[in-house]
């Protein structure tokens, strides 16, 4: 689909990658950009339509669907990351929290907006995933598991929504230079580069985006004799 003339909703649009998506969509000619955030009053980007949206709330998702019934592009960007391994203290609680935002959140939003996208001609959904969808380890264990689940969600939605004419795009990237990775010592990509690569792929009709070299290397290694997922996500720091 074409960005120009589209009507987009970006979740978690108040900062980081979500804010970069909102800026790029406006710059590429989107007719309207709804900026979803738990605190819409904090949105300072001119040109967007602030929208109260907590992706963990059924009521917020339903209200957003009523308010933004003209949407043709949904960007499921909202996400959280909690460090630590599966055996670390608090891992169960961290898993619940991250699955609620990173997996159930996009599921909730897709269920709310799939009928709207179909009614408006199909449109597209972009799900922000991660190279951690494919790799895991004690640095980001429960986060990686939540993103693996979100990858499965993306692949399933792509099949389920094909008859709706809805394009479903999975965005995989390594570390991005945002607040989420402020304390991570690793090579990071600029959010603007990740967003531009993703929106270009969207316009080409692609279903998967390998947005940086780290992600492309890991993807190539998934079918190796010693597959990439045998390594820890800690290995990504030095690449």
**Are the C-beta atoms of 85 and 141 separated by less than 8 Å?**
yes
Q: Give the pLDDT of residue 184.
A: 64
pLDDT digits (tens, 9 = 90+) for 199-222: 999 999 999 999 999 999 999 999
Homologous superfamily (CATH) of 7-238 is NAD(P)-binding Rossmann-like Domain (3.40.50.720)
Separation of alpha carbons 118 and 164, rounded Å: 5
Can you give the pTM of this predicted structure?
0.94
Catalytic annotation present for 229: no
Give residue 238's pLDDT. 46
Strands 124-128 and 167-172: parallel
Catalytic entry in 23, 32, 147, 229: 147
Residue 10 near residue 33, CB atoms below 8 Å: yes
**Mean of all residue pLDDT scores within the chain:** 94
Q: What length is written for the chain? A: 239
Q: Angle 224-229-231 (CA atoms, 0-180°, nearest 5)?
A: 100
Q: Which of 23, 34, 143, 229 is catalytic?
A: 143
Residue 147 among the catalytic residues: yes
The sheet that has 208-210: what strands, in order across it?
A: 49-52, 32-37, 7-10, 73-76, 124-128, 167-172, 208-210
pLDDT one-digit tens code per residue, 80-95: 999 999 999 999 999 9
Distance CA 25, CA 4 (A): 8
């Amino acid at each position: 689909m074409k960005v120009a003339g589209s009507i987009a909703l970006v979740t978690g649009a108040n900062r980081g990658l979500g804010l970069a998506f909102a800026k790029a969509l406006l710059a590429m000619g989107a007719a309207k950009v709804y900026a979803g955030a738990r605190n819409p009053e904090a949105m300072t980007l001119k040109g967007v339509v602030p929208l109260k949206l907590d992706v963990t709330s059924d009521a917020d998702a339903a209200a957003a669907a009523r308010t933004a019934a003209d949407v043709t592009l949904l960007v499921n960007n909202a996400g959280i990351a909690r460090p630590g391994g599966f055996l670390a203290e608090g891992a169960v609680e961290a898993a619940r929290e991250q699955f609620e935002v990173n997996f159930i959140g996009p599921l909730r939003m897709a269920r709310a907006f799939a009928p709207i996208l179909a009614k408006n001609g199909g449109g597209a959904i972009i799900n922000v995933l991660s190279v951690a969808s494919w790799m895991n380890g004690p640095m980001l264990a429960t986060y990686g598991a939540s993103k693996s689940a979100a990858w499965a969600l993306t692949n399933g939605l792509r099949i389920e929504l094909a008859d709706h004419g809805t394009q479903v795009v999975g965005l995989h990237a390594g570390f991005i230079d945002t607040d989420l990775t402020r304390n991570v010592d690793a090579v990071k990509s600029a959010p603007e580069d990740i967003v531009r690569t993703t929106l270009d792929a969207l316009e080409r009709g692609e279903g998967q985006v390998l947005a940086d070299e780290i992600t492309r290397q890991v993807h190539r290694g998934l079918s190796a004799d010693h597959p990439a997922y045998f390594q820890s996500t800690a290995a990504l720091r030095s690449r």
